[in-house]
Structure formats: structure tokens, C-alpha cells
Amino acid sequence: MSRKNQAYLYGLATVLLWSTVGVAFKLALKHLDIFQLVFYATLFATLILLGLAWFRGIIHTLDKQFFSHWKVTLISGCINPVLYYLVLFAAYDRLPAQVAQPINYTWAIVLTFLSIFFLGQRITRADFIAAFVCYAGVVVIAMQGQWPSLHNFGAGAMFSDGEGAGLGLLLAILSTFIWATYWIINVRDEREPSVAVCLNFVVALPVSFFACLIFSSPVVASTNHLIGAVYIGVAEMAIAFLLWSKALKMAENTSRVSNLVFISPFISLVLIHLILGESIHSTTYIGLLLIVGGLLYQQYRGVSQRD
């Protein structure tokens, strides 16, 4: 098999894993609170990443890598996975999966605007247009099929549980800012991504444990309740990252492989309907198309304007 086809294979495998996370989050949150889920998912992801480091024969270099990059490692580890997933899980705990999942993709728009202030990058008219289209999609998704009810959002008319879902929407948007901030912090990190992420999780493990100990309890009613955390930690946090890194490394054209990510939210909606039983509203499809359309427009038109 050619490197090009291998890159697409790794990319598609990653997309399939990403497509399941909305369902996995909702199912796991039925048995664990957000602090327990972050701790146990971080634990299993850390074990996988350390196991890979041992298999590759680089585990003995981790201490040197940590002490030479301890500041960025401590900050990054506290942001991802701890803060990011606490906020993201809190959003999923309050929102239907079909609402929380598409909003998560707008982090690329946030990254563009934060890059102006922190990386000195130039913003284009296409970026503004893309942002407007994407956030129009967020508004449409938030309406949940009630087109005339946009003015009632503050009263919680668009959601069955009112204020809780309104807070969930704000948390979902906040998670995109946290994720974009994480990428900006790490953009100049010269370490191999797998090493950096492994150290982030090693740092995050005790932080997530003490957060769980203080605000919840690491004790769970049944070990069966950890199945969701195992899947999220292994599949979403560890394996998906490694597969995606491999796909980009082997790709002849990274932009073409990167475009595979836009398949994920549509597959996810199918799984959300089939497994969670959520009735997918027309506003969800329209809003998602706006978000994906805005991102694609930014990716092609925005890049050409910068060039």
C-alpha cells in the first residue's frame, strides 16, 4: 500500500473514532460525573501513552524532556486534558449531543482570531466571513427546531431544561476557546508531539485525581461504570491523536487528509440518533452545514488571501 493510501487509511480511522465521542461522552456521563470521567479517562490515556513510549524505547528520555520544557508542560497538562475536558463534559452534561458536538468544531475559527493577538498573524476578510457563517450555524443549532423562538433564548424557550442548557451552550463555546489556547501555547513546542502529549497527561493525572478527590470521589459504584472512561481515554484521547499524527506525517498533501475531519460530525449525528435515540432536528443539519461550510471557506479562501 502506498504512503498516500496509508495516510488516508489512518485519517479515516481517526475520523471514525472522533465520530463516536459524542455518543461516548453522553453514555459515560450517565454513570460518572465530570470529575470522575476526566480522572479515569486521563488515567487510561496516560497508561496507553506511557506504554507506547516504552515500546518505542524513549521512556527514559521523558524526565529530561520534562525538565527542559517544564513550564509549557505544566501549563499544557492543566489545560488539556484537565480544564478542557471538564468544561466540555460539563457542556455535554447539559446539552443534547447533537448541539454540543457541532459547536466543538468552531475552535478553528477561535484559533484564527486568537492568533492575531498571540502569534501576530494577519486576519483576512475571509476569516471574518467564515466566523460569521460558523456562529450563525451555532445560533441555528441552538434553536433546536424552533425557528420563531430565537428571541426567547434567554428564557430557555429553545431547550427543555432552560437555564441549564443555556449554561451548557456557553460552556460548549468556552471549550473551543480553551482548545484554541492550548494549540497556541504549543505551536512553538519543538518536541515530538507524542512526547509532548505523553508528558501533558503525566502532569494531568495527579491534577485530575486531586480535583476528583476534592469535588467528587474517585470511588465508583461499579467497575462497569468505567467502560465509557476507558473508551474515551484510549480511543479519543490517545489512539485518535496518534493515528491522526501518523496520517499527517505520511500524507503527500496534508490539506486533503485534513479535510477528512469534516466527515466526522455527519457520521456522529447518525450515531447520536441510532444509539442515543435523539431526534435530529432540521436546525441541527442546517447549522452543521453552516459551520462546516464556514470552515471550508476559511481553509481555502482564507489561505489564498493570506498568500
Neighbour-count burial for 108-136, b at 16+ CB within 10 Å, e otherwise: bbbbbebbeeeeeeeebebbeebbebbbe
Q: Which residues contact 148 (CB under 8 A, 6 or more apart)?
A: none
Strand stretches in 129-191, DSSP E: none
- Choice between 68 and 161, residue whose per-residue pLDDT is larger: 68
d(CA 265, CA 249): 23
- Choice between 146 and 179, residue whose per-residue pLDDT is larger: 179
d(CA 78, CA 38): 12
d(CA 39, CA 210): 9
pLDDT band at 303 (very low <50, low <70, confident <90, very high): low
pLDDT band at 302 (very low <50, low <70, confident <90, very high): low
d(CA 176, CA 131): 13
Q: Where are the alpha helices (DSSP H) in 29-162?
A: 34-55, 62-68, 70-77, 84-94, 97-103, 107-118, 125-143
pLDDT tens-digit series, residues 188-221: 788 888 899 999 999 999 999 999 999 999 999 8
Question: Mean pLDDT, to the nearest integer, of 138-159?
Answer: 60
Distance between start and end Cα atoms, the chain? 34
Closest CA to 38 of 73, 84, 101, 72: 84
pLDDT tens-digit series, residues 118-129: 888 888 888 899
Which pLDDT does position 136 carry in this prediction?
92
Which pLDDT does position 150 carry in this prediction?
41
